[in-house]
Structure 1
Amino acid sequence: MAHVNSYLSILLLFFTEGLSQLVRTQQFVTATLGEDAQFSCRLMKPKDVLQVTWQKVTPGGTENVATYNNRFGPVVNPPFQRNVEFEDEGLQNCSIVIRGVSRGDESCYKCLFNAYPEGAISGRTCLQINGKI
């Protein structure tokens, strides 16, 4: 049984690594306190994407920041509407900008390309903030 679990863990690792390599994104974005930070994600191979979702990684899990799909267009969720905007809207290439970053914005952000039949294909970028406290 332990061998089966080890095999499944290795298989899952390769599968998720393979999917994450389908997305081109920055590993880190550095911004000065009060300035803007841009995040972009691009699929390296065309997929049948239904929606792109941006999420902020929090200690309790993730929080949806914004979504884009062809039916409803770009939607920024209420807690982020004050300073998050879409720069590029698309199902293969999507980018957002956080205006006037604060310490509270410092975190990792995920872009999820919700594709059929693959499911979520994700990339991750971590925001580092420079500046006085």
Structure 2
Amino acid sequence: MLWPYLVRTQQVVTATLGEDAVLNCELMKPEDVRQVTWQKETTRANENVATYSKRGPNVNLPFQGKVEFEDEGLQNCSIVIRGVSRGDESCYKCLFNTYPDGPISGRTCLRVNGKI
């Protein structure tokens, strides 16, 4: 069977300054997923935001209290960014670490608008 796209995400999510933004990420092909990692793209490198594995969720220190998992699972692993700020505006990658095929990723860019 052919899978036209492996990971379902939104290309761009737009949120208003101070509101919450949901970044969806769903693996469409059945795989043995070991871990899902969310990364924020920066000019220097990708910064790990959070991971989800069979042991449960883990949000990295700079993002604790700011980022939560909306859907907790190894096939569907969406996150919420609480009270978005200009500093949250970036592209984010969800990376499914699968066995034996290796990493499969999706990408969503967050745009932040000022309050009206």
**Higher mean C-alpha displacement, 46-55 vs 19-28:** 19-28
- Alpha-carbon spacing, 1:51–1:97, altered in 2? closer, same or farther (3 Å): same
What is the one-letter code of the residue matched to 1:22?
L
Superposed CA deviations along residues 9-58 of structure 1, whole A, max 9, x for unmatched, are xxxxxxxxx99920000000000000000011111111000000000000
Say whether residues 1:32 and 2:26 are aligned partners: no
The partner residue of 1:47 within 14, 31, 50 is: 31
Unpaired stretches in structure 2, ≥5 consecutive residues? none
Whole-angstrom distance in 2 between the partners of 1:120 and 1:19: 16
TM-score by length of 2: 0.94
Whole-angstrom distance in 2 between the partners of 1:44 and 1:70: 19
- The answer on whether the counterparts of 1:50 and 1:116 sit within 8 Å (CA) in structure 2 is yes
The partner residue of 2:90 within 91, 101, 107 is: 107
**Segments of 4+ in structure 1 off by > 6 A?**
none
Unpaired stretches in structure 1, ≥5 consecutive residues? 1-17
- Equivalent residue of 2:35, what SS? strand
The structure that has the greater radius of gyration is 1
Root mean square deviation, CA, Å: 1.6
- Equivalent residue of 2:29, what SS? coil
- Alpha-carbon spacing, 1:65–1:19, altered in 2? closer, same or farther (3 Å): farther
Say whether residues 1:131 and 2:114 are aligned partners: yes
Superposed CA deviations along residues 58-93 of structure 1, whole A, max 9, x for unmatched, are 00010000000012x000000000310111000011
% identical equivalent positions: 76
Q: How many residues are treated as equivalent by the alignment?
A: 114
Per residue, is there more helix in 1 or in 2? 1
